[in-house]
Amino acid sequence: MPGGGQRGIAVENNAFIANNEPYQNAYGIFVTGSGSRVEANHLISNSTKGLDVAQGHNVIVRNTAVTNTGGNYQISAGNDVGPIGTAATATSPWANISD
């Protein structure tokens, strides 16, 4: 999903966001509400954040984020999030990978 826009994918509540590749946007994926699942996305070279989750009660698992200028992940408290780390150190099948 080539970029240039403000947000590659933006959702509010109860969305299922999976298997996308937003790149070169301001935000790769931006979640403003609750009840969503963000899984198996590859977030590349977004200028503000790769993944930004502004509210709680979402599930974030098995994503990869690399070379996002403003940071790969910004996830507010109250979400169910797989561990964030490098592929080399990940021990959970639910891990979110970050460069």
Average pLDDT in the chain:
95
For the chain, percent of residues with pLDDT exceeding 70: 95
Q: What pLDDT, in 10s, does the model give residues 78-87? A: 999 999 999 9
CA 78 to chain centre: 15
Q: What pLDDT, in 10s, does the model give residues 1-31? A: 555 668 899 999 999 999 999 999 999 999 9
Mean pLDDT computed over 60-68: 98
Give domain limits for the chain.
Answer: 7-86
| Prediction pTM value | 0.93
Distance CA 61, CA 8 (A): 18
